[in-house]
Amino acid sequence: MKIIQKHLRVLLCMMLTAALVLSMGGVVSAEETEDTTTIGAADTESNEIVYELVAKNDRLALYADKTDGYFYVENRETGKKWYSTPADIEEDPYTVGLESTNLRSHLVVEYISREREIWADYAQSTNSYTDCVEHGGVTVTVIDNGIRVDYLFPILEIQISVNYVLKDTYLEASLLTDAIKDEGEYAVIAVQLLPVFGAGSWRDTGYLFVPDGSGALIHFNNQRKLAQNYRAPVYGVDKQVVAETKSTSTEAIRLPVFGTVVGDEALMAVIDQAAASAEITAMTGHATCGYNAVSSIFGYRLLTSQYNMYNRRRVNQMVDLDHGTDAYAVRYYPLSGEDADYIGMAGAYRDYLIAEHGFQKRDTTPSFHVDLIGAYETEASFLGIIPYTKKVPLTTYEQAQTILAGLQSAGITKLSAQYTGWNNNGITNVKIPKAATPLSVLGGKKDFAALTAATASSGVTLSTSVDLTSFIKGGNGVSATKHAIRTPFGKTVKQPQYILSNHVTKLGADETMYLSTAKLTDVAARYLESLKKQGLTTVDLTNIAENCYSNYFEDDTAHRTVGIQNVVAALKAYQDAGIKVTVQNANAYALPYVNVVTDVPTVSSGYDIFDEDVPFYQALLHGYVPYTTRSITQTPNPGVTYLTAVESGSQLQYNAIHANSGDLFDTEYNYLYGSTWTLWKDTAAKQYAEYQPLLEKVHDQEIVNHAQVAQNVFVTEYQNGVKVAVNYNAQDVVVEGNTVPAQSFCEWEVIA
Amino acid sequence: MPKKLVAFAVAVLLLLAIPLNIGASPVSNVPYNTYDYNFYDESIAAPAGYVPAERITAATIGVEGELAQPQDIYYDGKDNVYLLDAGNARVLVLDTNLKLKETIELMAPAKIDMSLFPGLTEEEVIEAVGVGEPTKVTTATGVTVGVDGRMYIADPTGECVHVYNADHSYAYVITRPKTARLGEEMPFNASKVSVDNRNNLYVVAKSGNMGAFVFDGEGNYQRLFGGNSVVQTAEVIMKYMLRPFLTQAQLEGMQSSVPITIANFDVDAEGFMYTTTIVSDETVVPEGVVRKLNYLSQDILEEKLIFGDREWDRQSKQLSIITSFNDVDIDSEGFINLLDKGRGRVFQYAETGELIAVFGGYSEQFGGFGTDPQAIESIGDSVIVVDTTKNCLIRFDPTDYAKQYRSALIRLKRDDFDGSLETWQALLAQNSNNANAYYGIGRVYDMQGDYKTAMEYFKLAGDRGAYSEAFQEYRNLTIKALFIPIISVVAGLLVIYLVYKVIKKKRGKAAVSTVGGSAYSKLESKYSFPLYTLFHPMDGFGQLKPRKIGSLRVAGIILVALFAVFTLQFFATGYIFNENRLSEYSLLIMLMKTVGVALLFVVSNWAVCTLFNGNGNLKEITCVTTYALLPLIFAMVFNVIMSNFLAGSEGAIMNIVLTVCIVWSFLLLLCGLYCIHEYNMTQTFFSVIATVIGMAIIVFLLIMFTSLLQQTWSFIYSIVLELIQR
């Protein structure tokens, strides 16, 4: 008998080992699944999750486990429960390794040992299940409408506290920055908050939404095992990070919002506090991962590095940050029914912006945007003997009139114009501009006055462009040593240019510095006075809302969460002065203070983990703030860009110079290769004639639906029932009885 | 059936076989840089030529599971695409829309380890133990299909090529050929295969460095192909002499001695084989990396074509360029697609070397590859890249820009200029940096006889050869048109001159006698003295010392003239002969090149000759050195003027003039130094050599001094910085 038992035991051991090995290798069969489940079951018996009602209101209810802090939010209308960690985790046949404990965690903590600060190449990672729940480190306190959970990681001597509070329409998770205790050997670098809240399982159908570029979807269980998980910083990479090489072009996150859609239910998350310190991350289901989840990571400290020339190594530095707030707060909004998709999320996020940040409806009258380009500076020398800086005109004020009049007579009647390089140093902002004064090389004050008079009488909105954030040299009251942002190592940040072919930095080319936001306030105010003096009521502040950066220069030190406040104040000052502000590709915080957003991408970065791009940013703005595409001739595939503009309800934008762009061949501005206005005039006029009538109908309407109805065929639906089908295929297709011509679009109205 | 009908039917069938247009992609942005090279070999922005259109996975193809390390793809040009799904030991036969038609499992008979049966032949062993169970071929890296439908699978690990019949049954295996050319220790790790239209099989082995192995339709080894045809003359003679004493095997082993490692190949529609070669230890991609070989293994691609990236990667660890082509594909219209393993890019070229598009790259994005893209194939104008790491294929489609560019180039190649002006102009509207569009337009005007406009466009294209030819035509026309006026003007001037002379003669007879010509009349002015020395160096420079006629002011004027002439040459030389980039002009460098060098010579000569008992003083040396430069200055002025009137082929005249004048200047210098230092000729000669060495020493000392100064400065600067920042 004993022998048999012994044999059985050996056999069992072998089976278990085999199961482990096999499941780690990603090969899973039904039998082995059972085994893994039993192992898991043995663990959970001791700490079974007991959910108790903690708070409730008309729409939502919060249930929590008072030992380990696990919770779920119930949507009382539909009964949908959103679990902080998956409820069916024991049945998960796929997930292996570290991920499986992350699935049981509220926090994933990245930390380094203070002793190894200088040489730590990357932060180590642990989660609240392994190092906290397993050690009984969780303390749950019931507070008003919610719970406070203190997560103590006894081995690492780290404590992190999070409040989970139920509000009218959402659950707010606030990671209390002041309550983070890590005085021991280990220091917290970043905390991933609720990594799997609302996760979709291998059984579910749905998708994750991430706000990369215009927005992107990751379908549940898309099996992209070889693709890296998505992870990108909100508001783009901080400008104080200088890359050694640049090989790919990516889009940035402009909106601090993400979400999960499971069937008819959705959970949208908005980062309410310290969004500029956050990253958004997403993982998808595949052979060794059973769940699909999107969440945010709070960058508590900065771990940065610098190349040390002497010993040819990178040296790290850990920097404590002032996030300008006492909590990193994320709101989770359960949505259901018609709102449970990315367009619904865009609407919900817009409601949030309106309620919390004063986002408002602007004049949305559609127009064709033309970005006029004035002059550029170049080094010249008189017979090679006396060097001097020369301004070369590309579009003078008089020629600008010619272009605008020419476009209007070609049928493009409703026009808006930005005017880049019309003052200061021309296209490249060598120095931060002092005043809004016309350039003599472009025709001087007299011609400029004629231009403004002409635009006023022909109904063209003219916004003169100005760059108040980036510069090449000190001057005009701005000092490169005092006012340019610096890295934590005390080095002035100089963003280089990169060679297109081999991606390394271009030697001898201009390097861009960024103006500290404290100084930006002064500079913006000074320029505003000058604008007023000139009698200008519109301005294009270009990259002010796109460039988001921190400064680590002594007393000026300001993490970008704080820097943003200066930018917002500057924008607000312009609004209050009655100036209509145009900006490029704006980050969320700027949206309430702008009248037009230009250069909005119609695509995402196209990461391998993504399944499709969606016009989320556009759906947010449509009917509220007008927005344009990037300059169409400068995009890699202009014909397709036009179609994406139609699909996303964007207004069209073209670059215009009066000179022959071929003359720029041997200058650093040769990227303007398709900008000569006469060359694109006819195409643009055709597009305008085709597209403007549609925009006239829908410009003040919200986008209420957007879907792919067939391969490469998309339908966008507006509040008033207008539907637009865009067909990217080379053949005509029929959508709801309407023929959509190849590589074109078709609109119709649905009578409700 | 009448012949015409057959031809028609074939044409219809071919038309049907052209892949259906799979549809434009909704990609309006790409993750990679889109660029072109300007004529200074710098990358500049350009519109995208190709954009990623579709990610092809097992799901889109229509098979279960996932692809596993797909290694190679072959399109038969008609209706079948063969995808080698190596990890799954199968070949997926797809239609041109890349949907599954059928699956071919790759099974091979078990390999018999002959070493276990010493003394027996293979047949005997099979008879004794049987063939054994067939095994899966999971390590294959190359696939191709012959015109007879036979499929060839290269298996480097198995060191063989598996051959399957058209009905997918196993035909035979090709193993290591018995030839002296393949060294004993060298494995036959066949990695890629290709079949030409005569049904010859070409096999590339990873470690082979003498070209591809050629087998006939029955798998018999024929020869080596595509080894480097460059053989040193001495070697050829040696071989010829040794020939009678060598065995056949030895002879075979001697054929080609320059090793060349073929990375991959493709056969075009006409049966020419394109190969790519692995290069290492080069700072730029050399010529001949991509070759188009005829049956005799001769490269018939235009000479001096450079493929791949041209900018040196400063930050790369190696000093070599990173471009390394691991596959080549010739599409149905003859364009060359090259897959660069170095940066994971595809380069598309016309056969004549024009770069059409660069796309792809290593990234985690749609349109970027994993670490190891293995193969490239084209269906129509779409390009398909096999991404072994990401287990998928990426289809790239041309943008409107690339489509127009390709068709314009095809027509240019055929000298078909009808309406091509509009095509080129449409291209320019999209990319005003496209040099080939300027060239194309230039060609159109050239054909129409509008040489002046053609010249303008050739200039924009940076094509000096074409410009020169058009210029020649233009000049001929101008001369023809102006012939009669010019002749009349010249004749008129001649008549006036003659009349003037006659009158002068009559009036001036008395005057000549009163002045009394002196041979030294020109010596009397220090300004005209340098001109006298031009033709009377010994006499002239001989007078320099005793009569003290040298003038530093004149020397100064000549130096300024020297500088002015060099500057003039930089800016005013005719376009055909002027390769200077105006923005690169530097005053300092120009001054150093002219005045600096001259003064350096003077100082050095003075120093040297003071040591060696030369009698010349500094002023005399300065005068001699500068006066001797006059012929050079005249030659350069002459050349600058002539360069505006000569065509490229006539440039030799200018070289001759310049050479003559340089020699002249040098002789003047020698004579002058000879006179003022009162040396003999040998001494003079050696003093010049010593002077040059002296110049080098002075430069060296100057550099030392400046670098020392710089270091001191940076030391002080860092201390100051430290003080400020602390």
Residues B386 and B407 in one domain: no
**In what helix (H) or strand (E) does residue A257 lie, and over which residues does it extend?**
strand A257-262
Residue A747 inside a domain? The answer is yes
C-beta separation of A499 from A508 below 8 A: no
* pLDDT tens column, B491-529: 999 999 999 988 888 776 544 444 433 445 555 677 888
pLDDT at residue A38 in the model: 35
Cβ pair A226:B51 closer than 8 A: no
Of B153, B138, B63, nearest to B100 by C-alpha is B63
- Using CB atoms, which residue from B43, B366, B586 is nearest to A608? B366
* Residues B183, B88 share a domain: yes
A644 in contact with chain B, both atoms CB, cutoff 8 A: yes
The C-alpha atoms of residue B495 and residue B506 are separated, in whole angstroms, by 17
Please indicate whether residue B184 or residue A372 has the higher confidence score (pLDDT).
Answer: A372
Task: Kindly state the DSSP code that residue A165 receives in the 8-state scheme.
Answer: E
> B637, B619, B626, B638: which is closest to B668 by C-alpha?
B626
**B332 within some domain:** yes
Q: Are residues B218 and B254 in the same domain?
A: yes
pLDDT (0 to 100) of residue B212: 86
A680–chain B nearest CA distance, Å: 7
A245 - beta bridge partners? Answer: A504
Highest mean pLDDT among A9-23, A113-127, A649-663: A649-663
Beta bridge partners of A387: A381
Nearest CA in chain A to B58: A223
Q: Six-digit token pair at A470? A: 């980036």
Q: Which amino acid is at A165?
A: V
To test the contact with chain B by mutation, choose from A637, A653, A729 the residue with the greatest count of B C-beta atoms within 10 A, namely A637
Q: How many domains does chain A have?
A: 2
Q: Which of A296, A328, A357 is the last residue of a domain?
A: A357
**CA separation (Å) from B423 to B50, B154, B437, B444?**
19, 44, 9, 11
Q: Are strands A461-465 and A538-540 parallel, antiparallel or unpaired?
A: parallel
Residue A47 pLDDT exceeds 90: no
Are A672 and A662 in contact by the 8 Å Cβ rule? The answer is no
Structural domain tally of chain B? 3
Please indicate, yes or no, if residue A667 is contained in any of the structural domains: no
- Is B287 inside a domain boundary? yes
Q: Which of A53-62, A508-517, B132-141 is predicted with the least confidence, judged by mean pLDDT?
A: B132-141
Q: What is the DSSP letter of B222?
A: E
Distances A661 to A667, A675, B230, B560 between C-alpha atoms, Å: 10, 6, 46, 39
Average pLDDT over residues A691-720: 94
What's the domain range around A170?
Answer: 51-357
Residue A352 forms contact with B (CB below 8 Å):
no
Given a cut of 80, is residue B229 above it in pLDDT?
A: no
As given in the structure block, the two tokens for residue A235 are 């508001």
Determine, for residues B51 and A637 on separate chains, whether the beta-carbon distance falls below 8 Å: yes
Q: What is the CA radius of gyration of chain B?
A: 36
Length of chain A, in residues: 752
Among A107-116, A126-135, B379-388, B532-541, the range scoring the smallest mean pLDDT is: B532-541
What is the per-residue pLDDT for B521?
54
ipTM of the modeled complex: 0.89
The overall average pLDDT reported for chain A is: 89
Distance CA A535, CA B258 (A): 77
Structural domain that includes position B591: 522-715
Distance from CA of A604 to the nearest CA of B (A): 9
- What token pair was written down for B519? 């041979």
Q: Let me know if residue A377 belongs to a domain.
A: no
pLDDT at A459: 93
Q: Is the pLDDT of residue B313 over 80?
A: no
% chain B with pLDDT above 70: 85
Nearest Cα neighbor of B268 from B292, B290, B287, B289 is: B292
What is the phi-psi region of residue B607: left when phi exceeds 0, alpha when psi lies from -120 to 50, beta otherwise? Answer: alpha
Task: Kindly state whether residue A332 falls inside one of the protein's structural domains.
Answer: yes
Cβ B442 vs Cβ B463: under 8 Å: yes
A672 inside domain:
no
Nearby residues of A362 by Cβ (< 8 Å), 6 or more positions away:
A594, A595, A596, A624, A625, A626
pLDDT band for position B22 (50/70/90)? Answer: very low
Element (H, E) at A386: strand A386-393
Phi/psi for B583 (5° steps) reads -70, -15
Report if residue A433 sits inside a domain: no
Residue B514: predicted pLDDT: 41
B201: domain CATH number? Answer: 2.120.10.30
- Residue B278 predicted with pLDDT over 60: yes
Of A641, A676, A730, the CB nearest to B432: A676
B244 and B376 inside one domain? yes
Other Cβ atoms less than 10 A from the Cβ of A652: the count is 24
Quick one: B95 and B201 in the same domain? yes
Place of tokens 């990603």: A26
Q: Give a yes or no: residue B654 inside a domain.
A: yes
pLDDT of residue A385: 64
Helical segments of B516-576, H only: 529-535, 537-547, 552-572
Asked, for residue A420, whether it belongs to a domain, the answer is no
Helix (H, G, I), strand (E, B) or coil at A702: coil
Domain holding A281: CATH number? Answer: 2.70.98
Q: Which residue of A has its CA nearest to B68?
A: A226
Q: Which of B395, B404, B418, B532 is nearest to B99 (CA)?
A: B395
The reply to whether residue B28 touches residue A249, judged by beta carbons under 8 angstroms, is: no
Provide the shortest C-alpha distance from residue A313 to chain B (in Å).
15
Rounded average pLDDT over B665-686 = 90
Predicted local confidence at residue A97, as pLDDT: 78
Domain boundary among A357, A391, A425: A357
Kindly report, residue by residue over B4-15, the tens digit of the pLDDT.
Answer: 544 444 444 443
DSSP secondary structure code for residue B365 in this structure:
B
Lateral strand order in the sheet of A158-166: A138-143, A146-153, A158-166, A171-176, A327-336, A265-271, A257-262, A206-210, A216-219, A612-613
The percent of residues in chain B predicted with pLDDT above 90, rounded, is 39
Closest chain B C-alpha to A273 CA, distance in angstroms: 30
Residue A37 has pLDDT above 50, yes or no: no
Backbone angles phi, psi at B325, to 5 degrees: -85, 125
Q: How far is B601 from chain A (nearest CA, A)?
A: 24
Q: Under a CB-based contact definition with an 8 Å cutoff, are residues B652 and B715 in contact?
A: no
Residue type, A312: R
User: What type of residue is B474?
Assistant: Y
Q: How far is B123 from chain A (nearest CA, A)?
A: 41
Q: How far apart are CA B87 and CA B104, in angstroms?
A: 13
Nearest-CA distance B37 → chain A (Å):
9
Residues B429, A679: C-beta atoms closer than 8 Å: yes
Same domain, B290 and B352: yes
Structure tokens belonging to residue A13? 């051991």
Chain mean position to CA B636: 31
Residue B17 within any structural domain of the chain: no
Instruction: Measure CA of the first residue to CA of the last residue in chain A; give whole Å.
Output: 79
How far is B154 from B162, CA to CA, in rounded Å? 7
Integer CA distances (angstroms), B353 to A666, B332, B337, B411, B485, in order: 22, 17, 11, 15, 45
Q: Where a domain ends, among B365, B398, B431? A: B398
Q: Rounded mean pLDDT of B195-219?
A: 85
Q: Residue A644 and residue B45: Cβ atoms within 8 Å? A: no
pLDDT above 60 for B156: yes
Chain A CB contacts of B29 under 8 Å are: 249, 251, 601-603, 606, 635-637
Report if residue A301 sits inside a domain: yes
Name the residue in chain A with its Cα closest to that of B371: A226
Can you give the pLDDT at residue B496? Answer: 92
Measured in angstroms, the CA of B712 and the nearest CA of chain A are apart by: 18
**SS3 call for B375:** strand
B416 versus B576: the higher-pLDDT residue is B576
What local confidence, expressed as pLDDT, does residue B251 receive?
56
Closest of A109, A131, A113, A111 to residue A185, by C-alpha: A113
Sorting pLDDT into bands at 50, 70 and 90, what band is A302? Answer: very high
Say which range, A454-463, B314-323, B394-403, has the weakest mean pLDDT: B314-323
| Mutation target among A500, A655, A686, A712 for the B interface, most CBs of B within 10 A | A500
Q: Estimate to the nearest angstrom the gap between the alpha carbon of A23 and the chain centroid.
A: 36
Say yes or no for a CB contact (<8 Å) between B48 and A637.
Answer: yes
Give residue for tokens 């699956």. Answer: B103
pLDDT of residue B280: 65
A673 touches chain B (CB under 8 A): yes
Which of A465-469, B570-574, B577-581 is the most confident on average? A465-469
Q: Indicate if B275 and B299 belong to the same structural domain.
A: yes
Counting every residue, how long is chain B?
A: 726
The residue of chain B nearest to residue A708, with distances taken between CA atoms, is B26
B114 has pLDDT over 70: no
Choose the final residue of a domain: A357, A390, A417.
A357
Residues B72 and B69: their CA atoms lie apart, in Å, by: 9
Do B600 and B480 fall within a single domain? no
B2 within a domain of the structure (yes/no) = no
> Which of B398, B433, B464 delimits the end of a domain?
B398
Interface test with A, best of B42, B430, B432, B568 (most A CBs within 10 A): B432
Strand A278-283, strand A230-233: pairing: antiparallel
Q: B432–A673: do the CB atoms touch at under 8 Å?
A: yes
User: How many Cβ contacts (< 8 angstroms) between chains A and B?
Assistant: 193
* CB-neighbour burial class of residue B581 (10 A; exposed 0-12, middle 13-18, buried 19+): exposed
Q: What pLDDT is stored for residue B257 in this prediction? A: 45
Token pair in block for residue A173: 């998770």
Q: Mean pLDDT across the stretch B195-214?
A: 84
- B466 and B593 co-located in one domain: no
Backbone phi, psi, residue A216, to 5°: -145, 155
Which residue in A has a C-alpha nearest to residue B48's C-alpha? A636
> Residues 6 or more apart from B140 whose CB is under 8 A from it?
B71, B72, B84, B86, B89, B106, B153, B154, B155, B162
Q: Of B366, B398, B430, which residue is a domain's last?
A: B398
Count of beta carbons in the 10 Å neighbourhood of residue A20: 15
Which residue, A364, A367, A389, is CA-closest to A378?
A: A389
Report the pLDDT value the prediction gives residue A2, as an integer from 0 to 100. 47
Q: Which amino acid is at A78?
A: T
Is the residue at B219 inside a domain?
yes
Judge if B207 and B341 occupy the same domain: yes
Half-sphere exposure at residue B584, Cβ-oriented, CA atoms within 13 angstroms: 7
Asked, for residue B385, whether it belongs to a domain, the answer is yes
What CATH number has the domain bearing residue B448? Answer: 1.25.40.10
DSSP code, position B20: P
**Residue for token digits 């598309």?**
B348
Between CA B92 and CA B106 the distance in angstroms is: 10
- Looking at the structure, tell me whether residues B70 and B176 fall in a common domain: yes
State whether B108 and B162 are in the same domain. yes
